[in-house]
Amino acid sequence: MTRQLHLGGFLIASPVTHSHAAWRHPGSETDYFGPEHYHRVGRILERGKFDFAFFADLLAAPDRFGGDQSEPFRRGTQAAATIDPSLVAASLAAVTSRLGIAVTKSATYFHPYELARVFGSLDHLTRGRIAWNIVTSLTQAEARNFGHDAHVDHEERYARAEEFVSTAIKLWSSWDADAVTADKATGVWADPTKIHPVDHIGEHYRTRGPLNQPRSPQHRPVLIQAGSSETGKNFAARWAEAIFEIDPTPEGRRAYYDDVKSRVVNFGRNPDHVKVFPSFIPFIGETESIAREKQAFHNELADPISGLITLSVHTDHDFSQYDLDAPVEDVRVSGTQGLFEVARRLSHRDSLTLRDIGKLYAQGVLLPQFVGTATDVADQIEASFTGGEADGFIVSSAQTPGTFNDFVDYVVPELQRRGLFRREYEGATLREHLGLGDAHDNLPADIRGEERVLVG
């Protein structure tokens, strides 16, 4: 059978996704804080047999660019206004039956027991369709919102995340799969010998356990990560089952794919059970010229300052202090280091100024744009997929829900015709959609051999 690709749809529970122009687009919906918008998008993605909807999130309104929040609010930039994606996921689950739902939550500003309980509950409520996108948070603004004077150092955040994830896994495994008997005749609801305390006492976290809920349908959520720094890529290769990536160049995507897959092997894991998902924005038209007009109209709406506000968020660095018409300088950033490296690489390659980078960032946070007829866009997807760049793709929108409607109506049938994408869901859970196999078998080799409570 021909190897088939996977698809996710990128969302933030807000007016802005990757595209900062999307909310200004006349074709976009404007109610981003009620359930109907997300229900509509979810139904479109499920109609297109997408593996999952992916919700990114940040925990603070931007304040890094110029040390002021007024411009982010005025311009409506990324994270200026969001609602909690875990609650959106619960609502979306009620109107879909097969679509997976990936939710971003921080491993820096929550506790493992709290998140284990949230994601275990969501996995139950979705009947096994939930994923956790693990982030370590980015900014000083997020730290202050949680009562801290300063954000934790990059390396320390990942050290905490390592303990956080391993502790959450222990909690998800604290109930054996057959612990609940619900025997009405004997009055025994669960076998206490099959429910195990965790008794975790670590450097950063303590929890007695067990989780006060039975094992969920997937055992635990599918784990997603987007590591781009050296530490981040190691963390993703150790834990993630799907990896979200941003790189606008084929050579960059290919190098990233080869790099993380080799790291996965080094952690004793099956590289086929770790799916790499680059992201792109499609512009689809009846002809190539119509698609180019759609792209040009969208890109013209992008405001460079809005892009630089979000670049400042992602890197936790204030870019208001630089000359907009000068090249991007070599500066030390503490946030998403990989994204800034991409920006710096593009600047050096194409002689781009900081204003140019801001414009590109506002158009889609450096995502490539796949443009043309449905056949043209499918050609670009197939070339990337067969060229060793991806196991699947995260489709991001230039307008919502129009981009998703066009992609599902025109590109998905072309991918199906080529045998590259499913015609129907073959499983019920997200883990089955992605072909990930058993949750325990997909852990790092050293963790698979640890204590009984981890195995369950």
| Binding residue positions for FMN | 57, 104, 154, 158, 228-229
What's the gap between Cα 163 and its chain centre?
A: 21
DSSP 66: G
- Collapsed DSSP state (helix, strand, coil) of residue 379: helix
- Say how far apart CA 92 and CA 53 lie, in whole Å: 10
Q: Which residues pair with 223 in a beta bridge?
A: 132
- Say how far apart CA 115 and CA 164 lie, in whole Å: 10
DSSP string, 139-196: -HHHHHHTT-SSPPPHHHHHHHHHHHHHHHHHHHTSB-TT-EEEETTTTEEE-GGGB-
Contact assessment for residue 414 and residue 374, using Cβ atoms and an 8 Å cutoff:
yes
- Collapsed DSSP state (helix, strand, coil) of residue 406: helix
Read off the amino acid at residue 200: H
Per the annotation, binding residues are 57, 104, 154, 158, 228-229
- Say how far apart CA 140 and CA 147 lie, in whole Å: 11
Who contacts 292 (Cβ-Cβ below 8 Å, separation ≥6)?
283, 285, 371
Read off the amino acid at residue 109: Y
